[in-house]
Structure 1
Amino acid sequence: MLAPIIIFAFNRPEALKRLKKSLASDYLYEESEKFVFIDGPRNENDQNKINTVVEIAQTITSNVTVSIANKGLGTSIITGVSSIFQKYEKAIILEDDLICTPNFLSYMNQALDFYEKDDRIISVCGYGLKIKRPKNYVGDVYLSGRSSSWGWATWKDRWEQIDWNMKDWKEFSSDPQKIKAFNRNGSDMFSMLKDYMEGKNKSWAIRFCYNQFKLGKYAVCPFLSKVNNEGFGEEATNCKQQYSRFKVNIDQSGDTHFSFDPQISPNKQIEKECYHYHSIKMRIYSKIRNMLRF
């Protein structure tokens, strides 16, 4: 059974059109069940755009849920995905600023089926960083201690393990060794989580990644990314910069069958490359690029 596709949208009709167009080029699109959740307006200026987004969403599926109030992306995703898992055992999740390759759904469904019984895996990511495949490496994917929110999937039993309320925050935040270990997945991890706890962001993704760390689980990521994020710019919810340090090799192969290693394990070389993208050095470089707008 194919995993249902859950799309989260807000006030960007052109973005949703582009996402729909990219998904429609996938041969599994028509036979996949689809759900669209649209967040409510923050102000009067949002309403007209949201009305247009609703019209586009209704050309994708009849399963359209429109919020009256503005929940914010974090709450929208947590409540929306949780509602779908009342009926389904797995799901593919997308935001409206993403563009998918024609083999995105094939990859996601095959990976979901292959790793369903592997309790080490918490998510399947469609987005993959520009990581060099090590010599003699087996398979089209690698393991990461950090899930990506840019086109991903998970299973009901993994989703239900997440503590969204961060009940152990006090204990964790006072343990330097645990903080250091968490930051091995990126120098920004603890600071983002701390910002959430202090009300400076509303991220669901950093809480998901923290629970992934706490549970000792991995994300499966592709060497050739099946997703490109176009959500950089002034209208973006979380990524307002123009320059992105998250470079990808987009999958242009057209392949619809993928190689997964049942003995997959973390790779030191890959872990080092992944950390580089989230290192302090790269973050500073990225900020300078965006300040100078080049």
Structure 2
Amino acid sequence: MELAPVILFCFNRPKHTTATLEALKACRLASETNLYVYSDGPRNEEEAYLVNEVRSVLQGVKGFKSVTISQRKFNMGLASSIISGVTEVIQKHGKVIVLEDDLVCADSFLENQNKMLDYFEDHQQIFSTSAYSPPIKYPANFADDLYLFPRTSSYGWGTWRDRWESVDWSMEGFNEFIQSKAQRRHFNKGGIDLTPMLLHQKVGKIDSWSIRFSYAASLQNSLCVYPKESMLQHIGTDGSGTHSTSSSCYGHTSNNKVIHIEHFPKEHEAIAKRVRKFWANSLIRQLINFYKRMAYISLLKL
């Protein structure tokens, strides 16, 4: 099995970056893995110090088969940085494992992600893999290590070149989508927060690669494969991130278990219902999002 390279995206959090790298280096297979690091540039002079601190951390990185560091001269933003960085590496290697600078993985992370990428590569229904799973309660009779869910993950994920290159980042079919109840219902099988996020992306309120990746998977009726137990901890919900706020709802534990894929996993409705509940907006937010969607349609006279 040819190991997938790991891509790490970092910005202005040296302590988080250090923790992420130390955990990744401790993984089994780390010494056989090519590591690519993309360090985004500062948005202003005040951030330049922290960005330089991060880059000082990166200069001492060892413990991998190879380390390739790309330092952005200017700030690209997370979405543009990830889209361009993944495109560059995946064209060379055909598959990738992706981390951001606030994810601390278990020792089994690389072993498990490579196992999933190898097993599901020829299953076109699978759009990506995830190392994270929301902290939900599983049915007592659920014994598998993996489950399928129609929402891609941005936390310790992996994918293949053909899936990545199938994404239309410009979302040319969005106007048809936003007017179609059937398409929105299908997309929202991954969570009722998805369509509002996609609308915010379209009107420029957010700049997210992840929501567009999930949208592309939905258009192709594809799924993401999730572990029953998370292989990483999300340490970025302490208010330090550009796109995150302080929160503990993502869970603070990771499991070092080596997964076993004895058969192709299935979608499990009881699990899907609990995952959708985890990502659900409040009733007030749902009402606000409904009127925003109607305003968008009215404004553009669709």
Q: TM-score, normalised by structure 2?
A: 0.88
Measure, in 1, the Cα distance between the counterparts of 2:264 and 2:154. Answer: 25
The amino acid across from 1:40 in the alignment is G
Q: Specify which of 80, 85, 88 is matched with residue 83 of structure 1.
A: 88
Gaps of 5+ in 1: 285-294
Give 3-state SS (helix, strand or coil) of 1:87's partner.
Answer: helix
Q: Check whether the contact 2:144–2:228 (CA below 8 A) recurs between aligned residues.
A: no
* Match runs of 1:170-181 below 5 Å: 170-181=175-186
**Closer/same/farther in 2, CA of residues 202 and 230 from structure 1, 3 Å limit:** same
* Match runs of 1:156-171 below 5 Å: 156-171=161-176
Measure, in 1, the Cα distance between the counterparts of 2:222 and 2:196. Answer: 21
1:190 is matched with 195
* Match runs of 1:1-294 below 5 Å: 1-60=2-61, 62-240=67-245, 242-247=246-251, 250-251=254-255, 254-256=256-258, 258-281=259-282
**Closer/same/farther in 2, CA of residues 77 and 109 from structure 1, 3 Å limit:** same
Measure, in 1, the Cα distance between the counterparts of 2:43 and 2:136. Answer: 38
Shift of 1:57: 1.5
Measure, in 1, the Cα distance between the counterparts of 2:277 and 2:250. Answer: 10
Q: Aligned residues: percent identity?
A: 34
2:293 is matched with none
* CA deviation vs aligned residue, 1:68-95 (integer Å, no higher than 9, x gap): 1111000000000000012101110000
Gaps of 5+ in 2: 286-302
Measure, in 1, the Cα distance between the counterparts of 2:262 and 2:269. Answer: 17
Measure, in 1, the Cα distance between the counterparts of 2:9 and 2:143. Answer: 34
Range with bigger deviation, 137-146 or 208-217: 137-146
Shift of 1:174: 1.4
The amino acid across from 1:205 in the alignment is S
Measure, in 1, the Cα distance between the counterparts of 2:218 and 2:207. Answer: 19
Give 3-state SS (helix, strand or coil) of 1:114's partner.
Answer: helix
The amino acid across from 1:31 in the alignment is E
Q: Check whether the contact 1:245–1:282 (CA below 8 A) recurs between aligned residues.
A: no
Shift of 1:255: 3.5
Give 3-state SS (helix, strand or coil) of 2:239's partner.
Answer: coil
**Closer/same/farther in 2, CA of residues 282 and 31 from structure 1, 3 Å limit:** farther
Give 3-state SS (helix, strand or coil) of 1:154's partner.
Answer: strand
Measure, in 2, the Cα distance between the counterparts of 1:283 and 1:239. Answer: 21
Measure, in 2, the Cα distance between the counterparts of 1:33 and 1:283. Answer: 46
Measure, in 2, the Cα distance between the counterparts of 1:99 and 1:51. Answer: 22
How many pairs are equivalent?
Answer: 280
Give 3-state SS (helix, strand or coil) of 2:132's partner.
Answer: coil
Q: Check whether the contact 2:97–2:113 (CA below 8 A) recurs between aligned residues.
A: yes
Give 3-state SS (helix, strand or coil) of 1:30's partner.
Answer: helix
Q: TM-score, normalised by structure 1?
A: 0.90
**Closer/same/farther in 2, CA of residues 261 and 130 from structure 1, 3 Å limit:** farther
Q: Check whether the contact 2:128–2:223 (CA below 8 A) recurs between aligned residues.
A: yes
Shift of 1:40: 0.8
* CA deviation vs aligned residue, 1:237-294 (integer Å, no higher than 9, x gap): 2112x2243336521xx443x222433221111111111101234997xxxxxxxxxx
